[in-house]
Structure 1
Amino acid sequence: MLMTVYLAGEIHSNWRNELKEKAEALQLPLNFVGPMEDHERSDNIGEEILGPQSTSILKDAAASQINNLRTELLMKKADLVIALFGEKYKQWNTAMDASAAISLGKPLILIRPEALHHPLKELSAKANVTVESVNQALKVLSYVFDN
């Protein structure tokens, strides 16, 4: 059984590649999707498609509409969402994606360091599983496929 996993979270670190490589090494039947990882393209997609916008606010609005459409389509097709909260970057998109997964009834694994326990306590309570590392999330996924 092939399962599709939406990987929500910051796009500045290598956590997605780490998770994908480890899942492949474990031979887990997983297909991964997620947000546009090319930050510059994500920020500029509105102008790429619609042409130059007259203000930075309109540029952001155009890109946001297209990025939100991408997220909604891919997340609706996913069987599971993994949302990673790191400590280095602002995590507004991760919070939005995790909340969307919950609203869509998608199973959610939340990865967050212990230092973020308090600010994420309500979101953790809504997630199916909360862990502190990519390795722990992989162990949860491995368990799903154990006989």
Structure 2
Amino acid sequence: MEISVTLKVYLSGEIHTDWRERTIALCKAADLDIKFSSAVTNHEASDAAGDCLGEEHNGFWRDHKSAKVNAIRTKTLIEQCDLAVIRFGEQYKQWNAAFDAGYCAAINKPYITLHSEALIHPLKEVDGSAQAWATTPEQIVEILMYLLSDQLS
């Protein structure tokens, strides 16, 4: 028997692999009552988020405007979620993901980091404030199953 509550989970971080889709599919397969939200995963759309504020010929200012518009979305979704999962990939440095983790820590929002063992040292402070560290989407789903289980009482 499962607890009757919808858990709101924000998925942050790396956008170059299918970890989000795998996590969501595994949760659906386990019939978990979870509402997922996410950072913008379409790079072009993210880069163009500030274009509504007027044409910008300088790349720095275009990025600056778009980052601020994207921050509205990110901040709102993090504040509304019950838990964040923050993925750090191998290929790129995800400064935005580190910022999301710091914001979660600052507002006392629980978060789980998802990354390989190769990133243990560079993410030691980020992991130090996390409630858990996982290496696979399957581990994330196991944690979510545990959180939604009523077998604990």
Name the TM-score class by shorter chain: over 0.9
Give the aligned residue type for 2:69: I
Q: How does 1:1-147 map to 2 (within 5 A)?
A: 1-47=5-51, 49-146=52-149, 147=151
Segments of structure 1 that go 5 or more residues without pairing to the other structure are: none
What does the per-residue CA deviation read over 1:15-43, in whole Å, with 9 as the maximum and x for residues that have no partner?
11110000000011100001111110100
Percent same amino acid among aligned pairs?
36
Moved >6 Å (runs of 4+): none
Alpha-carbon deviation of 1:51? 2.0
Alpha-carbon deviation of 1:123? 1.2
The structure that is helix-richer by fraction is 1
TM normalised by structure 2 equals 0.92
Considering only aligned residues, what root-mean-square deviation do their CA atoms show, in Å?
Answer: 0.9
Between the aligned partners of 1:84 and 1:56, the Cα distance in structure 2 is 27
Between the aligned partners of 1:141 and 1:8, the Cα distance in structure 2 is 16
SS in 2 for 1:45: coil
Segments of structure 2 that go 5 or more residues without pairing to the other structure are: none
Alpha-carbon deviation of 1:96? 0.8
TM normalised by structure 1 equals 0.96
Alpha-carbon deviation of 1:137? 1.1
Alpha-carbon deviation of 1:8? 0.6
Between the aligned partners of 1:54 and 1:91, the Cα distance in structure 2 is 25
